[in-house]
């Protein structure tokens, strides 16, 4: 099976589940939950930095998805749609819990994709990512870790694309500084 055929099969599978679930089939929605809840939880955990809050956000994401499923349009994949809901829920929960001031815009330019040139323990990288300011971490998680384009990440975060790029650049700079590493372009 070619990659295009596999992707088409995935789209058909998702469309069938969405159609059945939006018609009230709880078993179809449970299958959606089982398929995507791990990735949604991982995204919520990276954004909130708290396992309990991430669990709440994951549940709220799927409650919101269940309510809005009839309006789901196949312009994006089901995973992307769920991630957008999860980002919105996580940001709202984080604002409610922390009441932090918004981050100032970082007006530095953005760099190309990057790779670390020195090996680092995974837990060091995770700790450094976790220590990033919220805006920088969000942009890094969505763009560099989840692979969303700058435009998609900016839309999910409710930012201008340039602001999202600046936050990503800020995250990369802070990671490089915190990890004491040289960062090269890939």
Could you report the per-residue pLDDT of 145-174, keeping only the tens digit for each? 888 999 999 999 999 999 999 999 999 999
How far is it between the farthest Cα atoms of the chain? Answer: 53
CATH 1.10.10.10 boundaries in the chain: 114-185
Quote the pLDDT of residue 103. 38
Query: 164, 171 in Cβ contact below 8 A?
Result: no
Does the global pTM surpass 0.85? no
Query: 44, 137 in Cβ contact below 8 A?
Result: no
CATH 1.10.1740.10 boundaries in the chain: 3-98
Read off the pLDDT of residues 31-64 as tens digits, 9 standing for 90 and up. Answer: 999 999 999 999 999 999 899 999 999 999 999 9
27 or 95, which is more confident: 27
Mean pLDDT of the chain: 82
Pick the CATH number of 3-98 from 1.10.1740.10, 3.30.1520.10, 1.10.3660.10, 3.40.50.150: 1.10.1740.10
Residue 101's closest CA among 131, 129, 134, 139?
134
Grade residue 123 by pLDDT with cuts at 50, 70 and 90. Answer: confident
Q: What architecture is domain 114-185?
A: Orthogonal Bundle (1.10)
CA 81 to chain centre: 11
Tokens of 133: 């300011």
């Amino acid at each position: 099976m070619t990659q295009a055929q596999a992707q088409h099969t995935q789209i058909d599978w998702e469309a069938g589940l969405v159609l059945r679930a939006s018609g009230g089939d709880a078993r179809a929605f449970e299958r959606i939950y089982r398929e995507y809840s791990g990735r949604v939880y991982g995204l919520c955990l990276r954004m909130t930095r708290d396992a309990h809050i991430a669990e709440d956000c994951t549940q709220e994401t799927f409650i919101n998805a269940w309510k809005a499923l009839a309006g789901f349009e196949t312009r994006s994949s089901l995973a992307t749609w769920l991630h957008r809901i999860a980002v919105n829920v996580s940001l709202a929960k984080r604002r409610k819990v922390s009441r932090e001031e918004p981050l100032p815009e970082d007006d530095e330019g953005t760099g190309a994709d990057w790779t670390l040139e020195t090996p680092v323990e995974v837990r060091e990288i995770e700790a450094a990512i976790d220590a990033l300011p919220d805006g920088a971490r969000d942009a890094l998680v969505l763009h560099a870790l989840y692979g969303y384009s700058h435009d998609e990440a900016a839309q999910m975060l409710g930012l201008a694309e340039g602001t999202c790029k600046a936050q990503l650049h800020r995250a990369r700079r802070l990671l490089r500084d915190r990890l004491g590493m040289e960062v090269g372009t890939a």
